[in-house]
Amino acid sequence: VTAPASRPTPDLAGGRRRLQPLSRRFFARPTEVVAPELLGKLLVRSAAGVPVHSARIVEVEAYLGTRDLASHARKGPTPRAAIMFGPPGHLYVYLIYGMYHCMNFVCEPDGQAGAVLIRAAEPLVGTSASDPRALAGPGKLCRSLGITLADKGLDLTSATSGLFVATDSTPAPPIAQSARIGVDYAGEWSTRPLRFYVPGHPSVSGPRSLR
């Protein structure tokens, strides 16, 4: 529940190095390339400049832009989705079913739409770090980390803007693919293998058959 304060300058991975955010260039690439590379990365949530949660990403989905019938960008830069058309490395948040939030990392060069939905993470430090299922699902993830529409647009490449992504020394995890979850309405786009996850990991969401 509370962050450890026993060591002078602990990072949230349990190591000694200070975590550094991924660069904007990392996000400025094709969304389907960025998505699988996010698996195993650390998600660091801070409030008032102080890190309070960290988690390891174990499940993501790529949403490719205007041609992708499952993407919010398919209607063009509407007020809701305009962020997806802007510079990479920012956070796209939307409200789903009136009560949950989902968070995405904007990818592709400025002017081109694309984003990666973060679906699940393994809790490391912070609230509910003892429950491996606490962050298993995009709505639960945002609820546990306190991500809301107020965080829409924040800069993921800044260590002080509330949320960032970092690499640690953990080896790259195995990767599996499947169709994206909950996009049956999207025609042939509903079957494209744009969901990436760490197979067998206890924090992955969805039905058993897709873990």
Site for DNA, rule CB under 7 A: 61, 63, 70-73, 75, 78-81, 84, 92, 95-100, 102, 104, 115, 117, 137-141, 180-183, 185, 205, 207-209
- Nearest distance from residue 192's CB to DNA, in Å? 13
- Nearest distance from residue 17's CB to DNA, in Å? 31
- Nearest distance from residue 78's CB to DNA, in Å? 4
44 or 134: CB nearest DNA: 134
Tell how far CA 3 is from the center of its chain.
22
Of 149, 204, 211, 185, the closest CA to residue 69 belongs to 185
d(CA 211, CA 183): 18
d(CA 28, CA 202): 30
19 or 204: CB nearest DNA: 204
Tell how far CA 167 is from the center of its chain.
14
- Nearest distance from residue 189's CB to DNA, in Å? 11
34 or 159: CB nearest DNA: 34
Contact 203, 189 (CB under 8 A): no
